[in-house]
Amino acid sequence: MLTVNNIQVYYGAIQALHGISFEVNEGEIVTLIGANGAGKSTTLRTISGLIRAKSGLIEFMGQDITKTPAHKIVKMGLAHVPEGRKIFPNLTVHENLLMGAYTKSDRTEIAASLENVFQRFPRLKEREKQHAGTLSGGEQQMLAMGRGLMCKPSLLILDEPSMGLSPILVEEIFNIIQEINQLGTTVLLVEQNAFMSLQIAHRAYVLETGRILLSGTAADLQANPKVRSAYLGDVIE
């Protein structure tokens, strides 16, 4: 579904990505793990068209999207839920969700998408008329994910969905990610919580200073001594 081939990205004179290559197959959850500054968010922003790669190739559903504008990439079925949620605090929950459906014009389809989001996130239905800025951190993350699902993406990109959440909410968010995947949406996940992301992912890549250091099945990387000591800490023995 997604092929990233040797992309190089710069911020001014500073090189952020040094020829990263990986792929995401239809139906998978693929996770990118690594320390802060490894290039994970930059990778996602480059895929979704928010940053332009200096060189390399990005293909989505067989089409070259390396230089495609972000809004056109969304129309192709790739939605990006950014780090920090980036909800619109002065709009209601309902209005925020409608912003996620701006590529759609069929009112029946939009209504069906809204209903699906409310089934997935019942708390959003309860708070439909509230301003998004009054929601808790966990509810805002659910809103950001719901907004991403409103365009009915075939690939959902999630950047740090558990950031700042309590352990109970983290578990809930990861359960929802699994459910979304099981219902047919492919997921590319960037997550500081390497333990949780490797629990739900099919495959994983480890990034370090803009390069891919390791790759394999999530189970293999969980068992890898380097990954265990660097990213899993004392979570598993």
**pLDDT at residue 233, rounded to an integer:** 64
The answer to the question of residue 99 being in a domain is yes
* Burial (CB count within 10 angstroms: exposed 0-12, middle 13-18, buried 19+), residue 232: middle
Q: Is residue 229 part of a domain?
A: no
DSSP state, residue 27: T
Contact, 100 vs 109, CB < 8 A?
no
* 224 within domain boundaries: no
Category of 51 on φ-ψ map: left (φ > 0), alpha (ψ -120 to 50) or beta? beta
**Is 129 part of any domain?**
yes
CB 19 within 8 A of CB 211: yes
Catalogue the E-assigned strands of 83-145.
none
In a domain, 118, yes or no: yes
Distance from C-alpha of 117 to C-alpha of 153, rounded to nearest angstrom: 13
Residue 122 lies in a domain: yes
Q: Answer whether 236's CB lies under 8 Å from 222's CB.
A: yes
What count of other Cβ atoms lies within 10 Å of the Cβ of residue 194? 24
Gap between the Cα atoms of 66 and 56, Å rounded? 8
Q: Which domain holds residue 138?
A: 84-152
Asked if residue 124 is part of any domain, the answer here is yes
pLDDT, position 236: 44
- Whether residue 116 is contained in a domain is answered as yes
The total number of structural domains in the chain stands at 1
Q: What is the pLDDT of residue 232?
A: 74
pTM of the model: 0.90
pLDDT tens, N- to C-terminus, the chain (237 residues): 999 999 999 999 999 999 999 999 999 999 999 988 899 999 999 999 999 999 999 999 999 999 999 999 999 999 999 887 889 999 999 999 999 998 888 889 899 999 999 998 999 999 999 999 999 988 999 999 999 999 899 999 999 998 888 888 899 899 999 999 999 999 999 988 898 999 999 999 999 999 999 999 999 999 998 888 888 764 444
Q: Quick one: pLDDT at residue 16?
A: 96
d(CA 188, CA 60): 13
DSSP three-state, residue 139: helix
